[in-house]
Amino acid sequence: MKLTYCMMTWNRLYDTMKCIERVKPYVDRIVIVDGGSTDDTIPTLRNYEGVELYIHPWADNFPEQRTNYLKHAGEDNGGTDWILVSDPDELFSKEALENMREEIDQAEPYNMLAFESNSVSMHGPKIVNHSHDKYWKGLLFKYNPGMHYIGNPHETLIINGGPRVKNLPYRYYHIKQQNITWHRGFRNFHIGGGGPNLGDKNKYWIEYKSILTEVFGEFYSWHKIEPILLAGNIDQRIKDWLFNARKVTGFDGSSEVRESYKTYFRLYHPEEEPEEFKGEHIE
């Protein structure tokens, strides 16, 4: 039985290496799909024994990028039988890894094994919150040709015949800085409209797209708009929309609308936040 570990990454060398070093003793192959990193990720992984690195430039498409690593795992270098996946901010417990192959051997009639999620919030190097989420995520599954992901940015794995899931008594840890949820919420809103990929069902997304199209002549991808946000001093029309966004409530995905304000004014450019809004509590 061949077991392959897969991950997609982009400018996340430190976290990527932590994950690789954690799983390496327990898997047969490591397949990493990189979105075009400009830090040291690509040269480091090219030089790392046992890692297969494939570059697919990031196109704001989560399911497409995840499907890329499934294809490489299944079609290259002898293929695979089972696939273990994680993101750079997801770290498996050693207990989970030590028992993984035994669980695979006993998996029938299941084709997906799920690990219990644990959220770990960091403030710099310090853990400020650790919670058991009572949620299991199917991160280990049997490979079959044609399997793929759908849904952007919140994706679902499509397996021939559907998933048959067994929840395991082992944990993985979702480790993140406290305010990283602002950035990711804003990113998810920009790409898919927030919430369960609301898209045009979210009137605030329609307004947002209209304003960005008016300012730039087109609706930029997240990959293209993020450097503009980081540079600061954005067009006043976008700022005015952000001011209103901080008060949006009442539906699944509204927090991601509000996080657009917090990302720009409290994470990227607190010096640009209006004095009358500083210190204002925003959920």
| Contacts within 8 Å (CB) and 24+ apart, 259-264 | 259/181, 259/182, 259/183, 259/185, 259/186, 259/189, 260/185, 260/186, 260/189, 260/190, 260/208, 262/179, 262/182, 262/186, 263/182, 263/183, 263/185, 263/186, 263/229, 264/186, 264/229, 264/234
Count of C-beta atoms within a 10 Å radius of residue 103: 16
Give 277's contacts (C-beta < 8 A, 6+ positions apart): 243, 246, 265
Burial 171-203 (b: 16+ CB within 10 A, else e): bbbbbbeeeebbbebbbbbbbbbbbebbeeebe
Integer-rounded Cα Rg, in Å, for the chain is: 20
Question: At residue 167, does pLDDT exceed 90?
Answer: yes
CATH 3.30.70.3270 fits 3-177, yes or no: no
Which pLDDT band, with edges at 50, 70 and 90, does 224 fall under?
very high
* pLDDT tens column, 35-56: 999 999 999 999 999 999 999 9
Residues 160-188: what's their mean pLDDT? 95
Assigned token pair, 28: 């047969």
Write down the domain spans for the chain: 3-177, 180-272
What pTM was estimated for this model as a whole? 0.89
- Show the tokens assigned to 169: 């008594």
pLDDT classification of 178: cutoffs 50, 70, 90:
confident
Residue-wise pLDDT tens digits, 89-108: 999 999 999 999 999 999 99
Q: Mind listing the pLDDT tens digit for each residue in 8-22?
A: 999 999 999 999 999
